Structure 1
Amino acid sequence: MTVTIRGRRGALAAATALLLAVSAAACSGKAGSSGSKSGAGGSADGRTSYQLTADTGTPKGDLDSFTWSIFAEPSSLDYTQAFDYPPNQVLANVCESLLRWNPDLTTSPGLATDWKNPDPKTWVFDIRAGVKFHDGTTLTADDVVASLNRNLDPAVASVWANQYRNVDKIEKTGPLQVTVHLKNPDSTFLEYMAASPGTVESAATLAADGKDYGGPAKGVNCTGPFAFSSWQPGQSIVLKRFDDYWDPSLKAHSKQVKFVFIVDPTARVNAFQTGEVDGGWMVPPGSYAQLAPNVYFGKSTTVADEVVSNLSGPLGDPRVRQALLMATDRKGIINAGDGGVGEVADSLVTADNWNNAPDAEKKAGTTGLPSYPYDKAKAKALAQAAGVHGQEVVIATSPLDTQTTIITQAIAQACSDIGLTPKIDTISADKYTALFTDPAARKGVDLFLTFWYTSITDPLDMYASLETGSYSNYGNYSNKDFDSAFEQAVASSDPAARAQATQKAQQIALTDLPWLPLYFEPVSVYLGSKITGLKPSIDYLYYPWAAEIGSR
C-alpha cells in the first residue's frame, strides 16, 4: 500500500499517492497559463496549461446514479474523526454543520439561520426550524448540544478538540437556540462551525449507536441532501437521495451516489477512461493532459511543505533553514513533478486564506513577505556562515509516486548544495503516518513532506500549528513573539486588528521557517462525459457538492 502525505492537521491517509498540482491563482490571484475550456490541456513545451473553473455548467437533467472514485476507504464516517480527504468528501453530502462553507470560500447560514456574539466569550445560535434527519425525526437544540459536546469528550477523542480548546460550556437556551460559552475570546470558533467541528447529528442516534457510530454497519443519520445507504468494506459506500431535504436549492439531481475505493493511481486513470467511474477528486498529475478536456481545477487552500521536525539538529539555526529553502529548485519540482501546473509559495497559506480580511490587510498579508528565490551560491554562503560543515540531515519519505520522489530528491540535492549530508530514510506507510501522531516516530528525522490544507478561510488555521505546545507543532517550534501575535489575533474581534496581528505572526514564521513552503496547488477533479454541475473548490470537504451533479 502506498500513502498520500495529506491532511488538514497533517494527517497522512493510508492510501494512494495522488499528489496534486499547484495553483498559480492561490498566490497571484490569476489562473496561470490559459488553459482549455475545461481547465487542462497540453502546451508546446510539454507543460500542462490550465485555468481555474468556478462552475462546470448547469445540468440538463437528473440521474439515476453516478459513480465516484476516492483514493482510500474511510476508516470511519464519525464526524469527530473526519480530518482527511476520504471521509470528508463523503460526509460533506450526508451531514451538515451550523454554517456552510461555499465554493467561493465564503460562509453562509447552514443549520443555524442566525448567530450573535453578545460579548467576546459568548456565541448564540438560532437553529433552523423544520429540518428532518434521515430517519424522519426533527432537528432540535438538544441534537446540536449533543453533537457539539462530543468534541469536548475525552472518551470520544475528537480530532477537532483543539478547535474547542476555548469552549467552556454548550447549553440549550431555547427549543431552537444553543449558546456556546467560551473561556477566552476566540475569533476562529465561529468559522469552524462551517466545517466538521460544527456538524450536527441526531442525539438519539449517537446514544443508540455508541461505539458503532459511523462504522459500516450503522453509518450516520444526519440532515444532508444524501442519506447513508450501505457500506461494503473494501469496496464501496453508497448514498441515496434524501427527498425531505430542507434546502430546495441543493436538492440532489441524482438518486444515488456510489463511492468506490481505487487505491492505485493507474487504475483510477483507467477507470476514468473506460467510464467505469464517472468522476473523482485529486487527479494524478501525470494524467492531466491525458484526461483533458475533462480535468478541472478550482480554489484551494493547500500548500506543499517540508516540515522541519528537528530544531535541535543541523537545521536548528534559522539561517540554515533559509539557505535550504533558497537552494531548493521549487520551479524545477513543479515542472518535473506536476507538468508545470503550479506556483512557488512564499507563504504557508494561500491568498484565498485572506479573503475575509479588509482589503488593505489582505494586501499586506499577501505581499512583501520574506522571500527566498532560488540561488545556490547565496544559499551556500549563508549556510557556511551559520556553521554548516557536512552534518547529516535525515529526510523521511515513503514509497509513493514519481512526484514524491522528485520532491524528496530535490530537497536532498538542496541539502548537498549548502554543505549538508542528506540521508533519505524510506519508511513504510504506517511509520510515515506515525510521524504526524507520535513524537517518538519523529526521533532522528529532520524533514518530512506534507500537503497541508486549511478548513476555514483564515490563515490562523495554519499558524495554529506553530504555536508553542500545539499538537501539530511537529518540530516543537517556540517563539514568544509569534505566540503573542497569534493569541492576539485569535482574541481580536476587530477584523483589521486581527489581520494585522496575523500578519505579524506570519512574518515571524516566514523568517524562522519552522516549515519550508514549497508550492501552492489547486483542487483537481475529473468529470466524465455523463455528468456536470460541479463547482470545483476545496470546500468539497464540507459542502454538498454531489447534490449539484446532474446529467451533461
Structure 2
Amino acid sequence: MFKRKGFLVSLLILLGILLAACTSEGENDNSDSQNEGADDQEAAEDVEQVLKIANDQEPAGLDPHKTPAHSSVRIYSQVYSGLVTFDENMEVVPDLAEEWNQPDDSTYVFTLREGVQFHNGNEVTAEDVKYSFERILDEETASHIASYFSNVESIEVVGDYEVQFNLSNPDATFLSNLTNASAAIVDQEVVEENGDLQQVAVGTGPFKFEEWVADNRVNLVKNEDYFIEGQPKLDEVIYYTMKEESARLSAIRTGEVDLTTLTAQSADLISNEEEIDVKDYQSLEYSYVGFNVNSEPLDDPKVRQALSLATDRQAITDIVWNGDAVVSGPVAPSMGDWSIDVESHELYQNDIEQAKALLEEAGYADGFDITITTASTYDDMVDTAQLLQQQWEEIGVSAEIKQIEWGEYIDTWSNTSADVLIGRNGSGTDPDRALNYFFHTDGSANVWGFTNSEYDSLVEEGKVTVDQGERQEIYNEAQNLLLDLSPNLFLVSPMKYVAVRDSVVDFVPYPHDGEDIVEVSKQ
C-alpha cells in the first residue's frame, strides 16, 4: 500500500511538472506572437511618411489667382483652401466655410470655421475672403478666373466669420465655381509683402510650402494645424520635375518615386509589374487645336471649318492615345448629359472633298502655309501636331511644326502669339467653364480673339438659368454653334493613367481631382 501510494504521488508530481512546463511553453509562444505583432505595428509606424511624385512639368508659378497651368495647380491645390470643395461624388461640401445659406436667389452668406490659421499663424477671417475675391476681380490681377465671378456685385463682411456675396443675377454656377483650386483664400499680408504669390505660398491647406528648387523639385510638409482632424496622413510630399516620360517610367519602376502620371503606351509597359498598380479613369480633359481668329487666313470661319473636316479624330484616338480616348467636343463626354453627340456633327465627318470646296470658297483653292506650335515636353501634343501636319496636307495646307519649352508655351497661349496652338483643356465640373470661360467674348481664358454676340447671349443665359433641363437645352445650342464657328477644333478626351507603388495606401484618383492625397499614407 505504502509503495503504491508513493508511486501515485510521484506520478502526480511528474505530471504536474510536465503540465507546468507545457503551460509555460504555451505562454512563451503567445508572448512571442504578441511581441511579433507589436513589432509589426511598430515597423509600420516607422515607415517614412514621405510621398515622392514625378511631375511632367516645372510649375509655371504658385499664385492661385494668376496661374492656370496644371503643373502649378497640382501643387498650390495642396497648399490653399477655398470656401467649399467637391467630395468624391462631386457634391459641394464645406471647406473653410462650415455652412452657407441663400436668403434669396442672388445672395449667399458663408459662415467660416473659427480658429483656422494660415501657415504663418494669422487667423482666417471674413476680411480675408473679401480681399481674396476682390483681388480675383481686380483687372490689375488679370486673374484667369475673374469671369467665373463676373456676377458678383459686392462682397460684405457681416461679422468676423461671416461674409456675404451679392450677385447681380441668379447664378447656377456660383457654388461649383467656388470649388475651383484657383478660388483660394489668400493672406493679404503675404501678397503685400511679396507683390504676388508666384514664388511663395501661404495658405490654410493640408500641406505647407517649404522649398522650390528650380528644374528639380518642390517640397511640401504636413500642416500640423490643419482644420480637418486626422488629415493629412503624410509628413512630406516631394514633387520631382521629370519632363521625359522615360525618366518617370524608370523612376516608378525602381521605387525612386511612389507615383506618377503616364501615357497609355507607358502604362501598358508596366501593367503586369507586381509592385506597381496602374489606376485609370476617364478624364474631364480634351485635346484641342486653338486658332488665332484675328490672323489670316484663320479669320475666315470657312477655313477653320475646312481644317475641321480634314482632321481625322479617330486616327488621333488610335495613334496618339493608343485607342484609350473618346472623340470630344468642348464639353467632355465624361460630363454625361451636358455633352452633345459631336460625332454626328457635319464638321466631324472627315470629308476631304468638302474641306477643299470650303477652302476654294474662302479664296484658298491652292491651300496655304501655316505654323503649328506645340509644347515640346508633351509627347501627345507633339504627336498630334505631326498627325495634323499629315492630314491637312491632303487639302493643300502645308504646316510647319514649332516645338517650344513649357514656360514659353504658357506665354504663347496667354498672349495669343501663335496662329495655331495644340493644347489640352479641362471641361471643368460645369458646362459654364467649357463654354463661357474659354469662348465668351469676355471669358478669362478666351485667348483666341473669338467673339460672337449670339454665342455670348446663349452662355450668359445658361449661367443664370437655374432649371437644369432648360440649361441643358441652352448649352446644347451653344455647343453646336461653337462647333460651326470653330474657334478651336476639339479633338479627343483621353483616359488618364497614374502609376502607383504598392507601398502607397488609399490613393484614389477622381475625374474632377486626380491628385487627392490627404488620405494617402505609406506602408
- TM-score, normalised by the number of residues in structure 2: 0.81
Q: SS in structure 1 opposite 2:79?
A: coil
Q: Determine which of 460, 473, 493 is the counterpart of 1:487.
A: 460
The answer (yes or no) to whether the contact 1:523–1:537 under 8 Å persists in 2 is no
Alignment of 1:142-161 (within 5 A): 142-161=127-146
The answer to whether 1:507 aligns with 2:483 is no
- With over 3 angstroms needed to count, the CA separation of the structure-2 counterparts of 1:307 and 1:417, relative to structure 1, is same
Q: In the aligned structure 2, how far is the partner of 1:432 from the partner of 1:220?
A: 24
The answer to whether 1:412 aligns with 2:397 is no
Structure 1 position 314, deviation (Å) = 3.9
Tell me, which stretches of 5 or more residues in structure 1 are unaligned? 1-59, 355-361
- What is the aligned partner in structure 2 of residue 370 from structure 1? 345
- With over 3 angstroms needed to count, the CA separation of the structure-2 counterparts of 1:160 and 1:474, relative to structure 1, is closer
Structure 1 position 488, deviation (Å) = 0.7
- What is the aligned partner in structure 2 of residue 350 from structure 1? 332
Query: In the alignment, residue 395 of structure 1 is paired with which amino acid?
Result: T
Q: SS in structure 2 opposite 1:243?
A: coil
Structure 1 position 83, deviation (Å) = 1.1
Alignment of 1:59-138 (within 5 A): 63-138=48-123
- What is the aligned partner in structure 2 of residue 330 from structure 1? 313
The answer to whether 1:460 aligns with 2:432 is yes
* TM-superposition CA deviations, 1:459-492 (whole Å, max 9, x none): 1102122222445434433322211111111122
Alignment of 1:258-297 (within 5 A): 258-281=238-261, 283-293=262-272, 294-297=277-280
Structure 1 position 179, deviation (Å) = 0.9
Q: Which has the higher helix share?
A: 2
Structure 1 position 305, deviation (Å) = 0.8
* TM-superposition CA deviations, 1:234-258 (whole Å, max 9, x none): 322222222332223x612222111
The answer (yes or no) to whether the contact 1:329–1:410 under 8 Å persists in 2 is no
Q: SS in structure 1 opposite 2:224?
A: coil
The answer (yes or no) to whether the contact 2:52–2:257 under 8 Å persists in 1 is yes
Superposition RMSD in Å: 2.9
Q: In the aligned structure 2, how far is the partner of 1:124 from the partner of 1:516?
A: 40
Q: SS in structure 2 opposite 1:96?
A: coil
- Bigger CA drift: 153-162 or 173-182? 153-162
- With over 3 angstroms needed to count, the CA separation of the structure-2 counterparts of 1:205 and 1:518, relative to structure 1, is same
The answer (yes or no) to whether the contact 1:469–1:476 under 8 Å persists in 2 is no
Alignment of 1:37-52 (within 5 A): none
Q: SS in structure 2 opposite 1:198?
A: coil
Q: Tell me the percent identity.
A: 25
Q: In the aligned structure 2, how far is the partner of 1:462 from the partner of 1:265?
A: 29
Q: Determine which of 394, 404, 411 is the counterpart of 1:428.
A: 404
Q: SS in structure 2 opposite 1:74?
A: coil
- What is the aligned partner in structure 2 of residue 227 from structure 1? 208
For the pair shown, the structure with the greater C-alpha radius of gyration is: 2
Structure 1 position 538, deviation (Å) = 4.3
Q: SS in structure 1 opposite 2:219?
A: strand
Q: SS in structure 1 opposite 2:100?
A: strand
* TM-superposition CA deviations, 1:388-439 (whole Å, max 9, x none): 4113141322445553343223222332323x33231425336544432224
- With over 3 angstroms needed to count, the CA separation of the structure-2 counterparts of 1:157 and 1:397, relative to structure 1, is closer
The answer (yes or no) to whether the contact 2:333–2:493 under 8 Å persists in 1 is no
- What is the aligned partner in structure 2 of residue 242 from structure 1? 223
Query: In the alignment, residue 352 of structure 2 is paired with which amino acid?
Result: K
Q: Determine which of 167, 178, 197 is the counterpart of 2:152.
A: 167
* TM-superposition CA deviations, 1:254-284 (whole Å, max 9, x none): 2211112222222222211221111123x14
Higher RCO (C-alpha under 8 Å, 6+ residues apart): 1
The answer (yes or no) to whether the contact 2:312–2:350 under 8 Å persists in 1 is yes
- With over 3 angstroms needed to count, the CA separation of the structure-2 counterparts of 1:322 and 1:212, relative to structure 1, is closer
Query: In the alignment, residue 81 of structure 1 is paired with which amino acid?
Result: K
- What is the aligned partner in structure 2 of residue 38 from structure 1? none
Q: SS in structure 1 opposite 2:65?
A: helix
* TM-superposition CA deviations, 1:262-314 (whole Å, max 9, x none): 22222222211221111123x14431212225322224211111112236634
* TM-superposition CA deviations, 1:24-72 (whole Å, max 9, x none): xxxxxxxxxxxxxxxxxxxxxxxxxxxxxxxxxxxx9775212111223
The answer (yes or no) to whether the contact 1:227–1:241 under 8 Å persists in 2 is yes
- What is the aligned partner in structure 2 of residue 32 from structure 1? none
The answer (yes or no) to whether the contact 2:222–2:236 under 8 Å persists in 1 is yes
* TM-superposition CA deviations, 1:177-196 (whole Å, max 9, x none): 11122344433232221113
Q: In the aligned structure 1, how far is the partner of 2:321 from the partner of 2:359?
A: 29
Query: In the alignment, residue 177 of structure 1 is paired with which amino acid?
Result: E
Q: SS in structure 2 opposite 1:199?
A: coil
- With over 3 angstroms needed to count, the CA separation of the structure-2 counterparts of 1:67 and 1:427, relative to structure 1, is closer
